[in-house]
């Protein structure tokens, strides 16, 4: 499994924050960036919310770039500027569930999802319960939140 030092985690999260800044703002959605890094420290895929359609989440966009069953995911880390979602509208699979399904063992986030759209996002808890290593980088939370300045009443994150 990819186990970088803190400086590497910060570097990859800054890349994800840069991707989040590319998101077309949407009144009912967060702007999120995601980067998937292989065990050898190379970037496998990246994405941002709404990159390929109005309902796509960053993790979903990044995972869609890789072949189904890609063995490199078993040792990868996904960097997401926001806690992976635990609920989605309609029939779309939540991002926390997608991460579990593909077997990524390590997730790094900048901040936890506040209760702006979902009363209680439990993506962090779902991942930890399933044995995934989840790390939060609070020193980059403000930068990740800044990409969401289009959302009024963002409130406090957990």
| Cβ atoms 41, 115 nearer than 8 A | no
Burial of 119 (0-12, 13-18, 19+ CB in 10 A): exposed
Alpha-carbon distances, residue 2 vs 66, 88, 91 (angstroms):
17, 29, 32
**H or E segment to which residue 133 belongs:** strand 133-136
Residue 99, phi then psi, degrees to nearest 5:
-65, -45
Report how many helices (DSSP H) and strands (DSSP E) the chain contains, helices first.
5, 5
Q: Is 59 a catalytic residue?
A: yes
**First-to-last CA distance in the chain?**
28
Query: Which is the catalytic residue, given 56, 59, 83, 113?
Result: 59
User: Annotated catalytic sites, by residue?
Assistant: 59
């Amino acid at each position: 499994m990819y186990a970088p030092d803190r400086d590497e985690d910060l570097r990859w999260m800054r890349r994800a924050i840069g991707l989040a800044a590319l998101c077309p703002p949407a009144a009912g959605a967060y702007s999120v960036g995601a980067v998937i890094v292989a065990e050898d420290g190379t970037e496998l895929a990246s994405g941002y919310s709404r990159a390929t359609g109005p309902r796509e989440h960053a993790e979903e966009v990044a995972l869609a770039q890789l072949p189904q069953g890609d063995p490199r995911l078993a040792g990868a880390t996904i960097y997401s500027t926001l806690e992976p979602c635990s609920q989605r509208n309609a029939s779309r699979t939540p991002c926390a569930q997608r991460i579990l399904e593909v077997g990524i063992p390590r997730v790094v986030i900048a901040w936890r999802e506040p209760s702006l759209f979902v009363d209680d996002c439990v993506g962090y808890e779902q991942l930890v319960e399933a044995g995934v290593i989840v790390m939060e980088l609070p020193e980059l939370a403000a930068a990740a939140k800044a990409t969401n300045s289009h959302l009024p009443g963002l409130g406090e994150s957990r």
